[in-house]
Structure 1
Amino acid sequence: MGVISRDENQVNLIFAGSSTTGGQLKGFSESFEKPLLAIDIEKTMPSSTQWQELATTLNKSVADFINRSEVEGANDDENYDEDDWLKVLENNPKAMKGAILIEGDKTTYLNSATDVFKHFNVDSSGLEKTMHTEQPNIEKTSGNDRFVEE
Structure 2
Amino acid sequence: MGVISRDKSQINCIYANDSDFGKQLEGYLKASGKEILMININETMPTPTQWQELAVDLNTGIENFLDFSKIENMNNNSKFDANDYVTILENNPKAFQGAIIINGKKTEHITTVTEVLKYFDSDSANIELTNQAEEIDLNKSKDRDNFL
Could you list the runs of 4 or more consecutive aligned residues of structure 1 that deviate by over 4 angstroms after TM superposition?
A: 135-138
Q: Distance in 2 between matches of 1:59 and 1:107?
A: 10
Q: TM-score scaled by structure 2? A: 0.84
**Could you tell me how far 1:137 is from its partner in structure 2?**
9.3
**Could you tell me how far 1:94 is from its partner in structure 2?**
1.3
- Identity rate, percent: 42
**Could you tell me how far 1:134 is from its partner in structure 2?**
3.5
Q: Distance in 2 between matches of 1:124 and 1:69?
A: 31
The alignment covers a number of residue pairs equal to 141
- Structure 2's unaligned 5+ residue stretches are 139-144
For residues 62-141 of structure 1, what are the structure 2 equivalents within 5 Å?
Answer: 62-123=62-123, 125=125, 126=127, 128=129, 130-131=131-132, 133-134=133-134
**Could you tell me how far 1:42 is from its partner in structure 2?**
0.4
- 1:15 is aligned to 15
Q: Is the CA contact (8 Å cut-off) linking 1:68 and 1:95 kept in structure 2? A: yes
Report the secondary structure of 1:76's partner residue. coil
- 1:51 is aligned to 51
Q: Match for 1:63: what amino acid?
A: E
Aligned-residue CA RMSD in angstroms? 2.4
Report the secondary structure of 1:36's partner residue. strand
Q: TM-score scaled by structure 1? A: 0.83
